Each structure stands twice: as C-alpha cells, then as structure tokens.
Amino acid sequence: MYKVFEALDELVTILEEARGVPMTSSCVVPRGDILELLDEVRDALPAEVDDAQDVLDRKDEIVGKAEHEAEQTASLAKLEADKTIAAARAEAERLVAEARVHADQLVADAEAEAQRTVAAGQAKYDDLVDRSQAEADRMVQAGRESYERQVEDGRLEQARIVSQTEVVQAAHAESARILDATADEAARQRAECDEYVDSKLAEFGDLLTHTLRTVDKGRAHLRGVAAGGGAAPFDYQA
C-alpha cells in the first residue's frame, strides 16, 4: 500500500509542476512518466487489495480466536478469584474459631479468678472476725478481772479503814474514790475494746470494697470481650 501512495504522490507532483497550455486550463505532462507511475499503481493495487481482502476474510476467525482467548482468560481469572475467596473464607473461619476459644478461656479464667478472690475475701473475713472476737473477749475479760480486783481491793481497804474509828470519814472518801477510779478504768478499757473491734471491722470493710471493685472490673472486662472480640488480659490486681 505504501508504493501506491508513493506513486500517487509523484503523479500529483508532476501535474502540479506541469507547464500549462495558454488560454486553457490544460497542461502538458510527460506521457511516459505518467504511464509508468500508473503501471506501478496498477501492479501494486492487486497485492495490497489481496492482503486487505485476506484480513477481511479472516476477520471472523481472528475475532473468534480473540474472544476464545478472552473467555479462557476470564475463566482462569474467575477460578483464581474463587480460590482466593475460598482461602479468605477459610482463614476468616479459622480466626473466628481461635477468637471464640480465646474468649471462652478468658471467661473461664475470669470466673476462676473471681471465685478465688471471693473465697480469699471470705477466708480473710472469717479470720478477722475470729481474731477480733477473741481480742474483744480477752480485753473484756481483762477489764472485768481488773475491775473485780480493784473493787475487792477497795472493799478490803474500806473494811480496814472502817475498823479504825478515828479515820472513818477518810475511809469513806477513799472508798468512794477507789470505786469511781475502778469504774472509770473499766469504762476506759471497754472503750478501747470497742475501738479495736471497730478498727478491725473497718479494715474488713475496705477489703470487701476492694474485692467487690475487682469483681465489677472483671465483669466489665468480660462484657467488653463478648461485645468487641479480642482484648488484653484482665489485671485482677488493679
């Protein structure tokens, strides 16, 4: 096809440069050159036309082949996409299963820790109550013995003073003082005993408050794990 265009360009050039005939629109051209170029065009056209016709005849074959290759490519791409989707689905199911196992383990650990914390708190409470009761009983008994001893001492002193007629008035006064001091001492010891028991009960109350706060944090952590998935392990000492 290039030769045809080249010959036509030369024909145009010859015509443009040809000498014109006066008083007419005609021109004088070299007949031999023109005929030679026309022969080249005639010789070149069949081959070019045959090539073009061959392309047109094979159009359906070429298009069919391209469509077949496109379908094969699409099938391969779909197969690869299906494999990728299946692998992704399998990986997602595996991750979900692992997350469920991890969540179940967290729940079991939290329940065990909560039971252990409650048991430890109950044991501390029982021990504190027993020790507080024992200490209170001891202090009450000590106060009672001290009171009775001082009362007895006062009675003996009173009897001794009463036996001496010259100091009867002084004996009465001393007896009253001793009895008052004994009562004050017993009241003081009783107040100390009550204060000790109250302080121990306050300590136990703080322990129970800390234990309940730990249990509440554990429950909140469990609710967060159940609602959002994986989470950092719960710090029971917080």
pLDDT in tens, 8-26: 788 788 877 777 777 777 7
* Predicted local confidence at residue 163, as pLDDT: 65
Q: How many CB atoms lie within 10 A of CB 110?
A: 20
Question: What average pLDDT does the segment 141-150 reach?
Answer: 84
Average pLDDT of every residue of the chain: 79
- More confident site: 164 or 199: 199
Residue 27: pLDDT band (50, 70, 90) is confident
Dig out the tokens for 93 from the structure: 């199911």
Question: What average pLDDT does the segment 37-48 reach?
Answer: 73
Question: What average pLDDT does the segment 146-150 reach?
Answer: 84
Give me the residue label for tokens 């299946």. Answer: 86
Burial class (CB in 10 A: 0-12, 13-18, 19+), 225: buried
- The pTM score is 0.30
Angle 171-173-177 from CA coordinates, rounded to 5°? 115
Question: What average pLDDT does the segment 194-215 reach?
Answer: 88
* Predicted local confidence at residue 235, as pLDDT: 56
H helix runs in the chain, sequence order: 2-17, 31-57, 59-162, 168-228
Q: How many CB atoms lie within 10 A of CB 182?
A: 19
Dig out the tokens for 166 from the structure: 């010259």
pLDDT in tens, 95-135: 888 878 887 888 788 788 878 887 887 888 788 778 878 88
* Predicted local confidence at residue 161, as pLDDT: 66
Share of the chain above pLDDT 70, in %: 85
Burial class (CB in 10 A: 0-12, 13-18, 19+), 7: buried
Q: What is the C-alpha to C-alpha distance for residues 61 and 49, in angstroms, rounded to an integer?
A: 19
Burial string for 53-71 (b: 16+ CB within 10 Å, else e) reads: eeeeeeeeeeeeeeeeeee
Whether 42 has a pLDDT exceeding 80, the answer reads no
Least confidently predicted of 143-157, 163-177, 210-224:
163-177
Residue 68: pLDDT band (50, 70, 90) is confident
C-alpha torsion 161→164→165→169, nearest 10 = -20
Residue 162: pLDDT band (50, 70, 90) is low
**The residue count for the chain:** 238
Least confidently predicted of 40-49, 137-146, 223-232:
223-232
* Predicted local confidence at residue 164, as pLDDT: 64
Burial class (CB in 10 A: 0-12, 13-18, 19+), 188: exposed
The most confident of the ranges 173-177, 206-210, 230-234 is 206-210
